[in-house]
Amino acid sequence: MTEGVAIALTTLPSREEADRLAADAVAAGLAACAQVDGPLRSHYTWEGKVESEEEFRVTFKFAESKGAGLEAWVHARHPYAVPQWLAFAADHASPAYRAWVLGVR
């Protein structure tokens, strides 16, 4: 089976932390691209309390084979006790984009 493109999302408490994590993941060759969105408002339950905080989302695009390494790398550098990590395969990527993502070393 041919390797595919995957996407993963995490959130961080500041733009600076999000930009640093995104840039460092790309520099390490773990992601072909990482984009930072935000600010966004997150509403969640933590330790029995409803919370609301401003966060910044990082979206990583990477070869599926790099997924476990990227996840471990992000978790080792993430400031949250339980970082968001949602990863999924791209159902479709254009042939040129797929070739670019898979070609990044």
Q: What is the DSSP string of 7-72?
A: EEEEEESSHHHHHHHHHHHHHTTS-SEEEEEEEEEEEEEETTEEEEEEEEEEEEEEEGGGHHHHHH
| pLDDT over threshold 80, residue 105 | no
pLDDT in tens, 13-40: 999 999 999 999 999 999 999 999 999 9
pTM of the model: 0.94
pLDDT, averaged across the chain: 96
Provide the CATH number for the domain formed by 5-103 in this structure: 3.30.70.120
